[in-house]
Amino acid sequence: MKRLINLTPSKSTRWLLGILPFALIILIYIVASDARLAENATDKLLPSFGQMGETLNSYVLEPSKRTGEYLFWTDTYSSLKRLLLGIVIAAVFGFTFGLLTGAIPTFHAPVSPLLTVISLVPPMALLPILFIVFGLDELSKVALIVIGVAPCIARDIQRSTLEIPQEQIIKAQTLGASSLQVLLRVYIPQLMPRLISSIRLTLGSGWLFLIAAEAIASTDGLGYRIFLVRRYLSMDVILPYVAWITLLAFIIDWLLLKTSQKCFRWHHQGAH
Partner 1 sequence: MLSTALTKRLFGKTLLASALLFTSAVASAKPFNVCWSIYVGWMPWGYAAEQKIVDKWAKKYGIEIKVTQINDYVESINQYTAGQFDACAMTNMDALTIPAAGGVDSTALIVGDFSNGNDAVILKGDNKTLKDIKGQNVNLVELSVSHYLLARALESVKLKEADVKVVNTSDADMVAVYGTKSVTAVTTWNPLVGEILSQPHSSKVFDSSQIPGEIMDLFVVNTATLKKNPALGKALVGAWYEIMSTMSAQDAKGIAARTAMAKASSTDLAGFDSQLKTTKMFYTPASAVEFTKSDALLSTMKKVAEFSFSHGLLGEKAKDAATIGVEGPKGIYGDSKNVKLRFDTTYMQLAADNKL
| Sites of contact with partner 1 (CB under 8 A) | 28, 31-32, 34-36, 39-46, 51, 54-55, 58, 65-66, 127-128, 131-132, 135-137, 215-219, 224, 227-228, 230-234, 236
| Identity of the residue, 231 or 262, whose beta carbon is nearer to partner 1 in the bound complex | 231
DSSP state of 67: T
Could you tell me the sign of the dihedral formed by the alpha carbons of 26, 60, 211, 86, in that order? positive
| Identity of the residue, 34 or 163, whose beta carbon is nearer to partner 1 in the bound complex | 34
Q: Shortest distance, CB of residue 28 to partner 1, whole angstroms? A: 6
| Identity of the residue, 49 or 227, whose beta carbon is nearer to partner 1 in the bound complex | 227
| Identity of the residue, 40 or 106, whose beta carbon is nearer to partner 1 in the bound complex | 40
Cα dihedral 150, 151, 157, 160, rounded to 10, equals -150
Q: Shortest distance, CB of residue 128 to partner 1, whole angstroms? A: 4
Q: Shortest distance, CB of residue 176 to partner 1, whole angstroms? A: 55
| Identity of the residue, 232 or 266, whose beta carbon is nearer to partner 1 in the bound complex | 232
| Identity of the residue, 175 or 243, whose beta carbon is nearer to partner 1 in the bound complex | 243
Q: Which amino acid is at 106?
A: T
Q: Shortest distance, CB of residue 171 to partner 1, whole angstroms? A: 54
Give the C-alpha separation, 155 to 157, whole Å: 5
Q: CA distances (Å), 198 to each of 90, 95, 156, in order? A: 11, 10, 7
Give the C-alpha separation, 181 to 173, whole Å: 9
Q: Shortest distance, CB of residue 27 to partner 1, whole angstroms? A: 8
Q: Compute CA 183 distance to the chain's CA centroid, rounded to the nearest angstrom.
A: 28
Contact 60, 117 (CB under 8 A): no
Q: Helices (DSSP H) in 62-182: which residue ranges?
A: 71-103, 105-120, 127-134, 138-163, 166-174, 179-182
Q: Shortest distance, CB of residue 154 to partner 1, whole angstroms? A: 28
Give the C-alpha separation, 238 to 245, whole Å: 10
